[in-house]
Amino acid sequence: MKSAEIREAFLRFFEEKGHTRVASSSLIPANDPTLLFTNAGMNQFKDCFLGLEKRAYTRATSSQKCVRAGGKHNDLENVGYTARHHTFFEMLGNFSFGDYFKQDAIHYAWEFLTSKQWLNLPQEKLWVTVYESDDEAYNIWVKEIGVPAERMIRIGDNGGAPYASDNFWAMGDTGPCGPCTEIFFDHGEHIWGGPPGSPDEDGDRYIEIWNNVFMQFNRTADGVMHPLPAPSVDTGMGLERISAVLQHVNSNYEIDLFQHLLSAVAAAVGCENNDSPSLNVIADHIRSCSFLIADGVVPSNDGRGYVLRRIIRRACRHGNKLGASDSFFYKIVAALVEQMGDAFPELKQQQAQIERILKTEEEQFAKTLEQGLRILEQDLAHLDGSVIPGSLVFKLYDTFGFPMDLTADIARERELSVDEEGFEREMQAQRERARSASSFALDYNTLIKIDGETEFLGYQEHQSAAKVLMIIKDGASVESALEGDNAVIVLDRTPFYAESGGQVGDCGYLTAENLCIEITDTSKNGHAFLHHGCVTQGTVQVGDSISAQVDAKVRHATALNHSATHILHAALRDILGEHVQQKGSLVDSQRLRFDFSHFEALTAQQIKALEARVNQEIRNNTAVCTEVTDIETAKAKGAMALFGEKYGDQVRVLSMADGFSVELCGGIHAERTGDIGVFKITSEGGVAAGVRRIEAVTGEAAWNWLSGAEEQLKQAMSLVKGTRENVLDKLQAVLDQQRSLEKEIEQLKAKAARAAGSDLASAAVEVNGVKVLAARLDGVDGKDLLVLIDQLKNKLGSAVILLGGVQDERIVLVAGVTKDLTGQFKAGDLMKQAAAVVGGKGGGRPDMAQGSGVELAKLDDALAMTAEYVASKS
């Protein structure tokens, strides 16, 4: 069976068992600060397990793209060296949210794996593990399914730490977790390895193919296990592993999905398609890197971008090992797109962008490799003994991305070795630093649990009556808040928009008789809207009826900026190309900020064209249309969905400018494009490799910006006493005049220097019969000193001359030797010595040389060098 057929069979099997097929979510987890990358099929359902989110279904099935290369589940170091580890893989899963539990989950898994109609695997090749104390699961396997006890293994806690077991699965340090049962496939005696729990379990003979987790707890940072609202199921089967089983191969790298890719790697690197693990490493890494970039990650020095950078560099290093002499990694993207582009259209759409980012990153790494080598050479020159210290190996690794084994190779060539243990110590220290500084280590559960649900009325209303459901003060739920208190208020219904999709939360007032709460921000937790504010008058109590009033002016300005952002997005794709993808946005009442993928700075013409296009759509004044529909219909209409956003079954589609812009969006918008008034870009710049940022203003803010610009123009006009028509000519005239004055000053200075030069000749002294002249002339530039040297040579007939002076906080030096003496004295040599005295550099021909320096106090010492130099050479 081909991998694509297995994927389809799995989803179909579970659909037949009443599961809803759900699309893979982005590799960037939506609204989940605890997670670096999507690392399991259950991630997108986390809130369903926790009871924070209700969906239209209680059974789901998916094929989820996953990356495990950082954070809790990190397989990076193993990749390429085992038959089964990947940085990127697809996870097939079935999920129950408080619906079925252990018994059905186990029966479903067994039926899919062993029944003739489905995968038809030989039962005697399957082994099963359960959590040590999970008698219930053990009995289902043995008594109901009939797995013989000798192929059943109970796995306990490692080293006695509670729940630290291969059979107790947790998504991260906090969040949903529970005991699990794992199904293993025995690839046969010819492969090394032992059954799970045995000393040889790390071998490739017994491979875990399917993990069934019985989600029962929510672990908080204090280690306490809180029962979930209802026992649930989360399963995961690696598509690559099950494909290996069904395609009768022992390594994932031999399955259909990898074969084509491996040939492409060999071709790009220019080596034979051999057994080197480096080929596997590269074939694996091109998948994670391409999918991460397609989902919006760009290489950088921290967070997700840093993990991506490390994976790219690891791939490049392995390419080097295989003898690649040029950039090769980006060349493999095409083969990946051919292989997986149908199942994952985002790869196809973004192929050019992925290739460009990978190529740039690879070229940059080639440069840092060179720099690293230079540093290594310098440090080796002062090395005591024959061991390169771990701290240097680490510095090269950390600063220059210089892999340890490359340092070790160079060490070997010089009969040196590297201190691997020292390097590991530094690495460990860095990991700890990274862990403690990680912004991904937030405790999901520090958010207070909020049961209430808020009905959102803000698309139609600015004001509504509402009831106070909950009051939170200092992180705790309270019955009332008093005048002066900062509090968070949860209402049963609200017109306040809660921050999301780049649009900030609304501000405004909650009022009742003798009560006023000023709301400065609104956010969302599950289905509850949190109104953050301060009680400015009276007391508010749970159960109070209040009036909720959004600040309409602020909301209106925000809405205009939001609609302009959509039109700008469409205009960018129209003018720059389809590779433009939204990478982030921020919309408030003052301005809009839009980050997007594009490789170079925008030209002035492009910026003008964008402004013209957006303003044209504003003047067309077409209606902004909103429609709520299902995701497939929305996509069919060409709606742009944003990576990293979580969409429900029903989505809101915003169409503007007669379909010029169609986006999924839950935000607040103008009624007609004409409401935006005017659109003006205020800045354009880069935020990361391949990501640009535009800031712009609309409506009243744009008007203010433009009249401010006019005010500045008026001031410029008054400075040059010009009019709007001639102000540029006048400014040009001022600049021309300045240039001609500068020229005049230069000529005068040269004249003065020449005059001084004639006097200097008399200052020459004799050293061993040679005329030597060393003189200080501050404020004269190098060019004039050169003229002077020529005059002095003529005047003195035969001499060695050094002139120097301070000009613009730097020392300028010029040396000259008359032709008759250049056999014995070289101006270049004299200059080198003199410049070194003032901490600078210099050189030149035997008869004429120039130099400079920075140690102003040593200029006289440098000039004194002239006599010493002549004495030493004669």
Question: Taking the complex as a whole, how short is the minimal distance between the CB of residue 211 and ligand SER, in angstroms?
Answer: 4
41 binds ligand SER (CB under 6 A): yes
Where are the alpha helices (H) located in 276-419, listed in sequence order? Answer: 277-294, 303-321, 333-340, 345-349, 351-381, 390-400, 404-413
196 binds ligand SER (CB under 6 A): no
Please report, for residues 32, 500, 596, 632, the alpha-carbon distance to residue 563 in angstroms, rounded to integers and kept in the order given.
27, 15, 17, 23
Question: Taking the complex as a whole, how short is the minimal distance between the CB of residue 175 and ligand SER, in angstroms?
Answer: 11
* CB nearer to ligand SER: pick between 65 and 669: 65
* CB nearer to ligand SER: pick between 72 and 832: 72
- Total residues in contact with ligand SER, by rule CB under 6 A: 10
213 binds ligand SER (CB under 6 A): yes
In the list 26, 63, 94, 211, the residue contacting ligand SER (rule: CB under 6 A) is 211
* CB nearer to ligand SER: pick between 93 and 526: 93
Which DSSP letter does residue 500 get? B
Does residue 818 contact residue 846 with C-beta atoms inside 8 Å? no
> What distance in Å separates the CA atoms of residue 539 and residue 84, rounded to the nearest whole number?
62
Question: Taking the complex as a whole, how short is the minimal distance between the CB of residue 412 and ligand SER, in angstroms?
Answer: 41
Which span (189-197, 229-237, 592-600, 703-711) binds ligand SER, by CB under 6 A?
229-237
In the list 167, 235, 276, 597, the residue contacting ligand SER (rule: CB under 6 A) is 235
> What distance in Å separates the CA atoms of residue 534 and residue 509, rounded to the nearest whole number?
10
Instruction: List phi, psi (to 5°) of 107.
Output: -65, -45
Question: Taking the complex as a whole, how short is the minimal distance between the CB of residue 173 and ligand SER, in angstroms?
Answer: 15
Residues 79-118 that bind ligand SER (CB under 6 A): 93
* CB nearer to ligand SER: pick between 40 and 340: 40
Both tokens of 682, joined, read 């205020």
Decide: residue 37, CB within 10 A, 0-12 exposed, 13-18 middle, 19+ buried.
buried
Does residue 654 contact residue 663 with C-beta atoms inside 8 Å? yes
Tell me which long-range contacts 505-509 makes (C-beta under 8 A, separation of at least 24).
Answer: 505/532, 506/458, 506/550, 506/551, 506/554, 506/555, 507/550, 507/551, 507/554, 508/548, 508/549, 508/550, 508/551, 508/554, 508/555, 509/548, 509/549, 509/551
403 binds ligand SER (CB under 6 A): no
* CB nearer to ligand SER: pick between 89 and 344: 89
- Indicate the residue type of 237: M
Which span (39-47, 148-156, 193-201, 696-704) binds ligand SER, by CB under 6 A?
39-47
Residue nearest to ligand SER (CB): 236
Both tokens of 85, joined, read 């580890």
Which DSSP letter does residue 545 get? E
Question: Taking the complex as a whole, how short is the minimal distance between the CB of residue 286 and ligand SER, in angstroms?
Answer: 23
Both tokens of 514, joined, read 């003798």
* CB nearer to ligand SER: pick between 68 and 793: 68
234 binds ligand SER (CB under 6 A): yes
Which DSSP letter does residue 17 get? T
* CB nearer to ligand SER: pick between 444 and 869: 444
Tell me which long-range contacts 270-273 makes (C-beta under 8 A, separation of at least 24).
Answer: 270/323, 270/324, 270/325, 270/328, 271/322, 271/323, 271/324
* CB nearer to ligand SER: pick between 42 and 472: 42
Does residue 754 contact residue 848 with C-beta atoms inside 8 Å? no
673 binds ligand SER (CB under 6 A): no
Tokens 């270049």 -> residue: 828
Question: Taking the complex as a whole, how short is the minimal distance between the CB of residue 13 and ligand SER, in angstroms?
Answer: 16
Question: Taking the complex as a whole, how short is the minimal distance between the CB of residue 207 and ligand SER, in angstroms?
Answer: 14
In the list 6, 30, 42, 324, the residue contacting ligand SER (rule: CB under 6 A) is 42
Tokens 């700890």 -> residue: 432
Which span (37-45, 682-690, 719-727, 831-839) binds ligand SER, by CB under 6 A?
37-45
* CB nearer to ligand SER: pick between 75 and 426: 75
Give the rounded distance of the alpha carbon of 105 from its chain centre: 38
* CB nearer to ligand SER: pick between 79 and 803: 79
* CB nearer to ligand SER: pick between 236 and 757: 236
Both tokens of 257, joined, read 């999905």
* CB nearer to ligand SER: pick between 61 and 454: 61
* CB nearer to ligand SER: pick between 41 and 299: 41
Half-sphere exposure of 24 (CA within 13 A, CB side): 22
> What distance in Å separates the CA atoms of residue 856 and residue 21, rounded to the nearest whole number?
76
* CB nearer to ligand SER: pick between 169 and 329: 169
Q: Hey, is 324 helix, strand or coil?
A: coil
* CB nearer to ligand SER: pick between 209 and 269: 209
Which span (38-46, 406-414, 506-514, 683-691) binds ligand SER, by CB under 6 A?
38-46
What b/e readout covers 394-412, taking b as 16+ CB neighbours within 10 angstroms? bbbbeebbbbbebbbebbe
Question: Taking the complex as a whole, how short is the minimal distance between the CB of residue 169 and ligand SER, in angstroms?
Answer: 5
Question: Taking the complex as a whole, how short is the minimal distance between the CB of residue 212 and ligand SER, in angstroms?
Answer: 7
In the list 236, 372, 403, 853, the residue contacting ligand SER (rule: CB under 6 A) is 236
Please report, for residues 91, 106, 110, 571, 592, the alpha-carbon distance to residue 103 in angstroms, rounded to integers and kept in the order given.
22, 5, 11, 54, 53
49 binds ligand SER (CB under 6 A): no
Does residue 102 contact residue 131 with C-beta atoms inside 8 Å? no
* CB nearer to ligand SER: pick between 42 and 727: 42
Question: Taking the complex as a whole, how short is the minimal distance between the CB of residue 344 and ligand SER, in angstroms?
Answer: 20
Question: Taking the complex as a whole, how short is the minimal distance between the CB of residue 232 and ligand SER, in angstroms?
Answer: 11
207 binds ligand SER (CB under 6 A): no
Contact code string over 142-181 relative to ligand SER, x by CB under 6 A: ---------------------------x------------
Angle at 668 between CA 664 and CA 671, to 5 degrees: 100
Residues 563-582 that bind ligand SER (CB under 6 A): none
Residue 261, strand partner residues: none
- Nearest alpha-carbon partner for 691 in 599, 590, 591, 578: 599
Question: Taking the complex as a whole, how short is the minimal distance between the CB of residue 144 and ligand SER, in angstroms?
Answer: 22
Question: Which of left, alpha, beta for 514 (phi over 0: left; psi -120 to 50: alpha)?
Answer: left
Where do contacts with ligand SER occur on this chain (CB under 6 A)?
Answer: 40-42, 93, 169, 211, 213, 234-236
